[in-house]
Structure 1
Amino acid sequence: MTVQDLTQSQSLTDPFIHLRVHTTYSLSEGASYPKDLLGLAKNLNMPALAISDRNSMHGVFDFSMKAKDYKVQPIIGIQLSVSLGSKPGSLTGNIILFACTEQAFHNINALHLRASRSEFASEGLPIECLRGYTKDVICLTGGGEDGLLPLSMNKSSQLGISCLRTLLEIFGSGLYVEICRNAPPSVESEIVEKGLIDLAEGQAGEVVCLDGIRRDKIPLVATIDTWHATPEGRDAWLMLRAISSGGRVKMLNDGTLDSKAPQCHLRSQEEAKKIFDAEISR
């Protein structure tokens, strides 16, 4: 399977649903209020929109109420920082969790509260702590700049396989391998994507999941890392990132900020299709 197979397997009339969306409740990072993201989603005829703030569920109520006003279906989730071990220095990256039921919402919120404890705040919640909180929870394997599975693969192929096997054991049929793009892929990112697709197709081997079912194949899901509603919000987002990291930004002659960071605004159906239809010239 390729990324093109992923997009072509859906009807051309199927909407692209943004699942990796951050609001101002991603403190010092998200540059758009829930109402701005939802208003744009309505204007783009999107039937649903997710909220997946980094290590925060504080915006869920506001997002849900505003979604009702805009008649957009809210998808409730969180981008959670997870470490592969309990020892300091263990590899840490993000996964996305979504609630399918009320019980799943309570499970995700419990993980959020546990991850907020001081001993996990800097290193991430150990992956083994996810056990027992996965009923009716959807898990994406991570994307953006610090996705858990891509980071593991970059460290070593064996670590990537181990990471995926653990997630598959814990989440079972609720696990999806995430292909995250904000632009047509570079040669380097296409190599990572191919590795992710190989794992999704069973390269990691068969796993006995917690529900007792043996699985090796994992479905793919396409995402775009979204931190602000429109292109005009890019400079505000860059400023927030610089302040948060203690970095600097450079202003160009046209008054915009100079950065190699990708475009991270909400995309229309047509824009998303172009991103995921793109192929690299060989």
Structure 2
Amino acid sequence: MPVSFVHLRVHTEYSLVDGLVRVKPLVKKVASAGMPAVAVTDQSNMCSLVKFYKAAQGAGVKPICGADIWLASRDEDGPLSRLTLLAMNGQGYRNLTELVSRGWAEGQRNDLVIIERDWVKQAADGLIALSGSKEGEVGQALLNGEQGLADALLAEWCEVFPERFYLEVQRTSRVNDEEHLHAAVALAERSGTPLVATNDVRFLKQEDFEAHETRVCIGEGRVLGDPRRPRTYSDQQYLKTPAEMAELFADLPEALENTVEIAKRCNIEVQLGTYFLPNFPV
């Protein structure tokens, strides 16, 4: 049976606040599950890239380079949203590294690295974008019942990423997952925008959830038993097999097939073993 799913949104231990996945065990589990590729999309950084690239190549798994970013709102005081960017080629890889670096240099606010919309538009060449599901600005508009705004935002990003913008859907047993999914499917049918399924992976095994929650609490300065702390993760955010994802999205097979198509479109070559020193005139 052909492979029906590739994970395109995975946070490793390099996502210091909310990732628990170690790179080598990730690659080993992906290979053992028969998945030909996997994307690492750490939050606002690409620190795991060299380690991930080497491990994946050694295991015969195709490495997909990406990052999750916090995107600034169109309005000055509007809410932040998520966007996942994947490098298709060498140009996209360079643009993504420069975009993330610019975020750290110019976009740090309130302990977050925030990327301005214009920066994304300037660096869009060679990149594929996933909408961020319910945490993306299109998803936020859908959940708020602002259909016109969702249409406008989708049109804006489809223009920035022609044939390279995907509406992301998830089923991780979290609040509003299903409400967002149905609204996103309707929007996709109206607009002709392709869907893509992700599992927003934060840990490898379901039983790692408690350890992940502990890490999140450490990052947020909270205690596990605090009844007021936000519970934004679920025990379903583990590295599910293609069979598990196929069962979960049996009604949306195209959202699974598109993960494989995206994996086919992403082809980068990272030049290792060479030093690139800055060219300072002397």
TM-score, normalised with respect to structure 2 = 0.79
Identify the residue that residue 215 of structure 2 maps to in structure 1.
240
Question: Residues 64 and 86 of structure 2 are in contact (CA less than 8 Å); yes or no, is this contact kept in structure 1?
Answer: yes
Alignment gaps of 5+ in structure 1: 1-11, 203-215, 252-257
Instruction: Tell me whether 1:103 sits opposite 2:91 in the alignment.
Output: yes
Q: 1:221 aligns with which of 196, 216, 228?
A: 196
Identify the residue that residue 23 of structure 2 maps to in structure 1.
34
Q: 1:229 to 1:125 in 2, by over 3 A?
A: same
Identify the residue that residue 81 of structure 2 maps to in structure 1.
93
Question: Residues 38 and 62 of structure 2 are in contact (CA less than 8 Å); yes or no, is this contact kept in structure 1?
Answer: yes
Matched residue type, 2:122: G
RMSD of aligned Cα (Å): 2.5
What is the rounded CA distance, in whole Å, between the counterparts of 2:108 and 2:184 in structure 1?
27
For residues 139-178 of structure 1, the C-alpha deviation after alignment (integer angstroms, 9 at most, x for no partner) is 011136x333212322333332232122111111111111
Matched residue type, 2:63: P
Instruction: Tell me whether 1:161 sits opposite 2:151 in the alignment.
Output: yes
Q: 1:259 to 1:96 in 2, by over 3 A?
A: closer
Identify the residue that residue 179 of structure 1 maps to in structure 2.
169
Identify the residue that residue 41 of structure 2 maps to in structure 1.
52
Percentage identity across aligned positions?
A: 24
What is the rounded CA distance, in whole Å, between the counterparts of 1:268 and 1:102 in structure 2?
29
Matched residue type, 1:276: F
Matched residue type, 1:100: M
Q: 1:259 to 1:114 in 2, by over 3 A?
A: closer
Question: Residues 84 and 163 of structure 1 are in contact (CA less than 8 Å); yes or no, is this contact kept in structure 2?
Answer: no
Identify the residue that residue 73 of structure 1 maps to in structure 2.
62
Q: 2:162 aligns to what SS in structure 1? A: helix
Question: Residues 128 and 164 of structure 2 are in contact (CA less than 8 Å); yes or no, is this contact kept in structure 1?
Answer: yes
Question: Residues 3 and 35 of structure 2 are in contact (CA less than 8 Å); yes or no, is this contact kept in structure 1?
Answer: no
Q: 1:161 to 1:259 in 2, by over 3 A?
A: closer
What is the rounded CA distance, in whole Å, between the counterparts of 1:172 and 1:83 in structure 2?
21
Identify the residue that residue 192 of structure 1 maps to in structure 2.
180
Q: 1:249 aligns with which of 220, 224, 234?
A: 224
Q: 1:201 aligns with which of 185, 189, 206?
A: 189
Deviation (angstroms), 1:259: 9.5
Alignment gaps of 5+ in structure 2: 253-282
Identify the residue that residue 102 of structure 2 maps to in structure 1.
114
Deviation (angstroms), 1:199: 2.0
Runs of 4+ displaced beyond 6 Å: none
What is the rounded CA distance, in whole Å, between the counterparts of 1:154 and 1:276 in structure 2?
21
TM-score, normalised with respect to structure 1 = 0.79
Q: 1:49 to 1:161 in 2, by over 3 A?
A: same
Q: 1:228 aligns to what SS in structure 2? A: coil
Question: Residues 15 and 43 of structure 2 are in contact (CA less than 8 Å); yes or no, is this contact kept in structure 1?
Answer: yes
Q: 2:150 aligns to what SS in structure 1? A: helix
Deviation (angstroms), 1:69: 1.7
Deviation (angstroms), 1:265: 0.9
Q: 1:90 to 1:47 in 2, by over 3 A?
A: same
Identify the residue that residue 131 of structure 1 maps to in structure 2.
121
Q: 1:84 to 1:30 in 2, by over 3 A?
A: same
Q: Paired residues, what number?
A: 245
Q: 1:177 aligns to what SS in structure 2? A: strand
Deviation (angstroms), 1:84: 2.2
What is the rounded CA distance, in whole Å, between the counterparts of 2:243 and 2:249 in structure 1?
10
Q: 2:196 aligns to what SS in structure 1? A: strand
Q: 1:13 aligns to what SS in structure 2? A: coil
Deviation (angstroms), 1:118: 4.6
